[in-house]
Amino acid sequence: MQHGTIFDIKQFAVHDGPGIRTTVFLKGCTLSCQWCHNPEGISPSLDLFFNSYLCMKCNTCFNLCPNEAIIDDSKITILRELCDKCMLCANDCPTEALQKSGRSINSTELMEEILKSTIYYDFSEGGVTFSGGEPLLQSSFLKEVLEKCKKEGIHTTLDTSGYSSLKILKSVIDYIDLFLFDLKLINERLHKEFTGVPNKQIIENLRFITQTRSNDVIIRIPIIPGITSTDQNIEDILTLLSSLNMVKEVNLLPFHNVSEKYDRLGMEYKLDHVRAPSDEEMAKVKERFEEKGFKVK
């Protein structure tokens, strides 16, 4: 039986595919997008959240830490470079100011969670969505759960960056009913600058999916002012999508600032200077895709 690492299970999700869904967030991602809204999903290992506003300075964590990674100097500070993520502090924090993000789960345990909402899937034509992080990074675990879902007749959706080997993609594609495929930047230099990886394999995988499963792909585009929302990038995306087989729907995802979440993880947030796109900016991008015949949300 395969084991995986997840960081959240969201019941009654309505924005991750058709109907009412259960969204499973798998840990680990090979991209490091500067605008990532789920930074706790980037590392494949456990993460330690520190919600300072909940801290009552009881010093429980200070006394428990075996590595002296927690100091009390007018306020509790975590020295992340010394923390080995043993999670002793999070396990015993009385106010849950310190929390563990991530847990190991086997495929049977996960299916028990997924099957709790079967009646809602049937009623709404919903199902389960695997998100992250990047679910394909845990491909063996993902495939085993997908196989079990198909045996139960549950609709499956994969929310993916598309960054994986073609071999891995081929191993799971027959068990996926719908792809939510992220497209960020078409210029390879910019893609590597803002996500940490090149995009050649991503585009090749998108071509393969659309050739194989033409009506089962929704393109998701994060709209980051000055980065992904530029006229040139939108035109490049339109050119690519127009060359593909039967991509009908595009979802536009407006940027919002999640610096507080990065602070809780002790991570650097590089886009604090970026504002959310206005309604007018979103409408303008939406119109450009609709003019080319795409259904847009």
At 41, give phi and psi (nearest 5°): -95, -5
Select from 33, 30, 31 the least CA-distant residue to 270: 33
For residue 31, what are the CA distances in angstroms to 38, 100, 283?
Answer: 12, 22, 28
285-294 residue pLDDT tens? 999 999 999 9
Contact 201, 163 (CB under 8 A): yes
- Rounded to an integer, the average pLDDT of 94-98 is 96
Fold exhibited by the domain 3-44+102-296: TIM Barrel (3.20.20)
Contact 245/189 with Cβ under 8 angstroms?
A: no
What integer pLDDT is reported at residue 73 of this predicted model?
A: 80
pLDDT in tens, 5-55: 999 999 999 999 999 999 999 999 999 999 999 999 999 999 999 999 999
Give the mean pLDDT of the chain. 96
Strand partners, 49: 99
- Enter the tokens of residue 107: 């495929």
CATH 3.30.70.20 in the chain is located at 47-100
pTM for this prediction: 0.94
With cut-offs at 50, 70 and 90, classify the pLDDT of residue 245. confident
Structure tokens at 212: 């194989």
pLDDT value at 246 more than 80: no
φ, ψ of residue 198 in degrees (nearest 5): -70, 170
Which pair of structure tokens corresponds to residue 182? 């992220």
- Residue pair 248/296 in contact (Cβ under 8 Å)? The answer is no
Instruction: Note the pLDDT of residue 75.
Output: 84
How many percent of the chain have pLDDT more than 90? 95
pLDDT recorded at residue 72: 85
Question: Which stretch of 70-74, 86-90, 151-155 has the lowest confidence by average pLDDT?
Answer: 70-74
Q: Which of 284, 296, 178, 191 is nearest to 236 (CA)?
A: 191
pLDDT digits (tens, 9 = 90+) for 180-231: 999 999 999 999 999 999 999 999 999 999 998 767 999 999 999 999 999 9
Query: What pLDDT, in 10s, does the model give residues 128-185?
Result: 999 999 999 999 999 999 999 999 999 999 999 999 999 999 999 999 999 999 999 9
281 pLDDT higher than 90:
yes
> What is 47-100's CATH topology?
Alpha-Beta Plaits (3.30.70)
pLDDT band at 93 (very low <50, low <70, confident <90, very high): very high
Whether residue 248 has pLDDT greater than 90 = no
Q: According to the model, what pLDDT value does residue 1 have?
A: 86
- Give CATH 3.20.20.70 domain extents, the chain: 3-44+102-296
